[in-house]
Structure 1
Amino acid sequence: MRCASVKKKNSKEACAANAVAGHTLCGRHIRVKSVTLWKDVHRQEVNGLIKCQAVWKGWKVRRMIKLAGPGAMKRSICANDEDVCTCLEKERESPLNYFGLEENGKVWWFSFGTLWDWSTRSIEPSNPYTKVPLTQDTLFRLRKLYLLRRRYRMALPAEIKTLNERMTRRWTTLCQIFRSHGFADVHPLNFVDIDRNGFRTIFRLLHDDLAAMNPKPYRLLEYCARGLRHSELPTYNYMLMSTTMLHFILMESNSYEIVFQLMSAIYRC
């Protein structure tokens, strides 16, 4: 951690020295009787930055609560009192870990990790309580929340350690996205045998197709570049990273055109 003082008495520059262990000042400034702190000199700018940060954090939280669905801020409307897996009471679940869905006038709630794990077990997941298939809107919100949790470095649901089962579940999620865009015949078993060479080919073909678009989707191109750039990773890590990049590509775009191009790359690999 850097020293919290300015470099000199009448300077506005921050001291570049490291702070002494257990203190906020460096060895030189810790002996000074009257220390001018950098944050006091730049208080107006710092307050502006704090306000911007507060606005950003507030928007981020409100976005996640909106995706969490009905009942996130009003648990009294929920039909079930406990999570089906963790048995956690509805009043004790954090809004950021909550997920609710409305079905036939009733609101059912789950811990995010519970419903995510449940949804990855079947190509056509259903409500654990009623066995009614989950709607495309519910699955989209669930996948979007997963994407945001990964992006914001929040806790993610634990995955099975076995590579084959793990890949099957990840392809199940991808196939759900394919089906939501009209590719009704796809199934995870069609893709679980794709190896690292196959993923490299998919990323190369998809990168070339995306690069030909106008305007170019630079973020999607970067995901493809990561898949090509990190191909030297151990097989286990590379396979997981590849499916994560494919998930990002599909969720960032939410476009039939991108889904079609990815399906084309998969069948050409």
Structure 2
Amino acid sequence: MDEKNQNKPVSIRRVEVMRYITPLREGGSLPAIIEADDGFQYVLKFRGAGQGEKALIAELIGGEIARTLGLKVPELVFAELDEAFGRIEADQEIQDLLKFSVGLNLGLHYLSGAITFDPAACQVDPLLASKIVWLDCLLTNVDRTARNTNMLMWHRELWLIDHGASLYFHHTWHNWEEQATRPFMAIKDHVLLKDANELGKVDVLFKEILTRETIENVVDLIPGSWLEDPSIDESPLERKRVYKEFLNRRIASSEIFVKAAENAREALI
């Protein structure tokens, strides 16, 4: 990656949802394909679903860190949903979801024609596998298993999707300092772990890219409305500070999660 662009502030486009096309019922949070005012289709992740704004924050941070590291991720957009959509939907479950998701949601560019990554049919280069495993260790992403790879093949390239299950520290919040330096033991179930034999090389490369400024630029993308939680004492600004510090501490102590991943890989082969 061009060093001059590494710390360039990231920007996310804003679109308005114009048409609800179809729900994607294989997802527990019931995302949907929508059409926006820019003429493109997106997979929309709703703030009113499942884990709410926390899943959108994890999706946003995970996706933009992955992109910064040179991995392929569909474009992320902030998608404004008008309250009128909930009034015309016949399905009560979807109507409720739309009603509780009025405002700013998150969309991923819809990769039309993409197919789910099949580890039995597709061989992944060890360097690429190592990059993805390192990323998921950093993000504590529990959702990249053989059962649910959250990767797509599109135009013969591997694309990463759905980072909403990452950063699970923010579901408990109070002990984030301890969690920041823990090994990521769930990596033993990662679909690409067996091929990830270049973790040491990737660790050096990625720690050079993910500077404190880079992390600050990504975390500052989080809309303030997603950080308003009456159950948490910290202000939105303080919560952004915690996300930044969590990620920076995790990067600084990456040898811990790299060693755990290498040990887990050795147990597989």
TM-score interval, normalised by the smaller of the two chains = under 0.3
Q: TM-score, normalised by structure 1?
A: 0.23
Higher relative contact order (CA 8 A, sep 6+): 2
Larger Rg: 1
> Higher strand share goes to which structure?
2
> Higher helix share goes to which structure?
1
Q: TM-score, normalised by structure 2?
A: 0.23
